[in-house]
Structure 1
């Protein structure tokens, strides 16, 4: 995918700029290029700020469709007559949709432009979240969820390339801002879904559907971005850097595979946490409201850490130690859940929240392991699609083990065991390599 495929959304990457990708003793200084300057005019001058607003609003909407369901999973299971295995399948649907639809993101971006695709993704999230509680039966619920998750999938893949394209010298800070907003949306949905449902009359259908309003708001800045970039392209013509971009056979890169497996294992843990952690606490005697707050605490840990971690990662030549530290926190958290889930609930929630920050670390490494926007979009699609495929069996297996064993001992042992290979591949993915150099 050439850099001019990104012109519909924002400026091309221009000559290779890696000042934010490699450690530096001094502050980051963007290097302006003609391509990095939008067309003249008041609206165009505001466009980078509108892009930032769009990034933040999009990030706020990339997890509430999942975490709001986790908070009300027992009510949804009862209302739709789901078994434990089907509920486990429901918690696996996000990973399946992310893998299936995420792989189409580069092709869609080439054809329609990334801005248009992200805008359509936000609209799909809004429609799916609004419709699914009233779609009728488990099949309709899953179909509407898949629509929302398709919108999340393409946006997941394109966010790193939007950042690399618009802010090539500020990958760390902008990834931190995006990750922080994503964590904020995740934690808010987990924290307020149960009390908001009670305030709105107690129907789980209303409690899930209300999150579609936030997604509808997120469409607005992307409409402005798409319109302005099309106007600029029509007035001046879109130019792009075509200098010496070598074809990248992404599947031949060891770093791409290490990063994909790392992404997959951290996604497995994250979706098991979002889908099942409230149930673990509720089965241990914790009230539904408190269990939702505990999940919110886990997600909220990502708000400050997701802002700081990418900035720290971009200043390190090897991000492996960070991956190892996050994995060790996960091991400690799962051990606590197994030994004393209720007594130390707040501590385990905090540790799991730290461990879940492997996600912003993975996003940051995607931006650092390629030298151009074209490389980033290929790497992002490969890592996320392969990673989410790897993560599909995890939540389903947890649900099956829980149903057949009658407790959480085996599921928690599985979760803890997966942290060991996650640490190993995280260290490999954190090496100072570029996929273009490897292939």
Structure 2
């Protein structure tokens, strides 16, 4: 019989041994690290890769567009893939794709770098969807602490990739070597994951009962999807365009780069605080309103008085970016079990990422047409307000439609 790590089996929550829990936690955290490193390291190294001749300017345009597009596709296809070959196999093969794709970026050629990025992002898209459900299926009574840990690692690894990509390139004397070197973590993550799941019943935890057939999505799925879409839209515009907006507002390029760093760093402790609130209805209400109001206030400041206190605006925007880990925590606890959480994750991320592409594309088109940033910032403020309203609707919705779904505490 397969040995169960932890999770929800036959309606019971199991608790793993310390050794099994430590191994699975390490695997989940390493998987989480690679979800962001592969994205941020490529973004910060684009100018150097072009300068070295490893990437043509035309190919460089494709790199930033790949993650969002594939994350949307992955959200739609991953639940089907999980049912088809099993959750463990889906994550394993996805992790193989991440490792191979990142290793391919060692080759200083546009085809290898773009192809490797597409392959790596395809794997990341699958793990993106599966990770919240995996946390629920494997962490047992420790789900709250594991959720906090992995969402914190997601934010921290994004900051590490953005901060370390260029210094590593300078240390190695090559942007391509820096880009490919992060693949070592992907290889380690794959090995630890295989060791953690060997002989364990995770597929059973993530499989929907055969007798269910097609059942409606849990109530609250669509508000959660709307909240995910808006926070992703805001985040992609901020991460992609904040330095440019700041420079065009009269801030020096060096200071503009620091502002983005502040946003990323503040989002880490803010995310931990937001996730800790996601276990009671009152906490969810405070969390969704708090992150939305903070983002709106920072964006308003950037619009109305960009040079007055840009660091303060960045702190507020960074606190607003905590909406992402908060949403992942809500996905992890959605539905009546890990199988339903997988379905909810697929819908929220698939539809959410597809909608969110409007943000960076719209901002880029507006900038390319020579437009002022004011209307873009106003639109983002409106989006943050709408995010708060949808979040309140989400906090008022039952967690799931199934009989086993326990409502969060008021």
Q: TM-score range by the shorter chain?
A: 0.7 to 0.9
Distance (Å, rounded) in 2 between the aligned partners of 1:369 and 1:239: 15
Partner residue of 2:252 out of 281, 286, 311 = 286
The 3 A distance-change label for structure 1 pair 433 and 321 is: same
Name the structure 2 match of 1:20.
none
Whole-Å separation in 1 of the counterparts to 2:277 and 2:334: 16
Cα distance, 1:172 vs structure 2: 2.3
- Per the alignment, residue 110 of structure 1 pairs with 83
Distance 1:92 1:58 in 2: 22
Alignment partner of 1:405: what SS? coil
Q: Does 1:126 align with 2:92?
A: no
Asked if 1:333 is matched to 2:302, the reply is no
Contact 1:116 1:222 in 2 (8 A): no
Shift of 1:128: 2.2
Matched, 1:188 2:154: no
Partner of 2:64: 91
State the Cα distance separating 1:394 from its structure 2 match. 1.6
Matching residue within 20, 30, 52 for 2:25:
52
| Kept after mapping to 2: 8 A contact 1:71/1:194 | yes
Deviation of the 1:379 alpha carbon: 1.1
CA distance in 2, matches of 1:272, 1:278: 11
2:335 alignment partner, SS class: coil
Matched with 1:224 is 195
Once residues 12 and 103 of structure 1 are traced to their aligned partners in structure 2, the CA distance between those partners, rounded to angstroms, is: 25
Given the superposition, is the C-alpha separation of residues 180 and 318 from structure 1 closer, same or farther in structure 2, using an over 3 Å criterion?
closer
Root-mean-square deviation (CA, aligned residues, Å) is: 3.4
Residues 431 and 142 (structure 1 numbering): CA distance in 2 closer, same or farther, change over 3 Å?
Answer: farther
Distance change in 2, residues 1:320/1:291 (3 Å): same
Given that 2:21 and 2:139 are in contact with CA atoms closer than 8 Å, whether structure 1 keeps it comes out as no
- Distance in structure 2 (CA, Å) of the matches to 1:371 and 1:65: 33
Is this contact kept in 2: 1:119–1:223, CA < 8 A? yes
Gaps of 5+ in 1: 18-30, 39-44
2:352 match: 387
1:149 aligned to 2:114?
A: no
Say whether 1:159 aligns with 2:154.
Answer: no
Give the stretch that moved more between structures: 205-214 or 359-368. 205-214
Q: Deviations over 1:121-152 (max 9, x none)?
A: 33322332343474634x66443322111111
Q: Mark the CA change 1:94 to 1:101 in structure 2 (over 3 Å): closer, same or farther.
A: same
Matches of 1:156 and 1:259, distance apart in 2: 16
1:296 maps to what in 2? 261
**Greater relative CO, 1 or 2 (CA 8 Å, sep 6+):** 1
Q: Look up the match of 1:63.
A: 36
Distance 1:272 1:130, change over 3 A: farther
User: Taking structure 1 as reference, are residues 124 and 239 closer, same or farther at Cα in structure 2, changes over 3 Å only?
Assistant: closer
Matched residues in 2 for 1:196 and 1:343: separation?
34
C-alpha change, 1:419 and 1:348, in structure 2 (3 Å) is: same
Distance 2:56 2:307 in 1: 28
Specify whether residues 68 and 393 from structure 1 end up closer, same or farther in structure 2 by C-alpha distance, changes over 3 A only: same
Aligned ranges 1:162-181 → 2 under 5 Å: 162-181=134-153
State the alpha-carbon separation in 1 of the partners of residues 190 and 44 from structure 2: 26
Alignment pair present for 1:14 and 2:9:
yes
Structure 2 residue 245 is the aligned partner of structure 1 residue 273: no
Counterpart position of 2:334: 369
TM-score of the superposition, structure 1-length normalised?
Answer: 0.79
Q: How does 1:289-438 map to 2 (within 5 A)?
A: 291-317=256-282, 319-341=284-306, 344-405=309-370, 407-437=372-402
- Deviation string 1:195-219 (CA, Å, 9 cap, x unpaired) is 3333333x44344333222222221
Mean alpha-carbon deviation: is it higher for 407-416 or for 393-402?
407-416
- Give ranges in structure 2 of 5+ residues lacking alignment: 406-410
8 A contact 1:124–1:151 mirrored in 2: yes
Are 1:51 and 1:225, in contact at CA under 8 Å, matched by a contact in 2?
yes
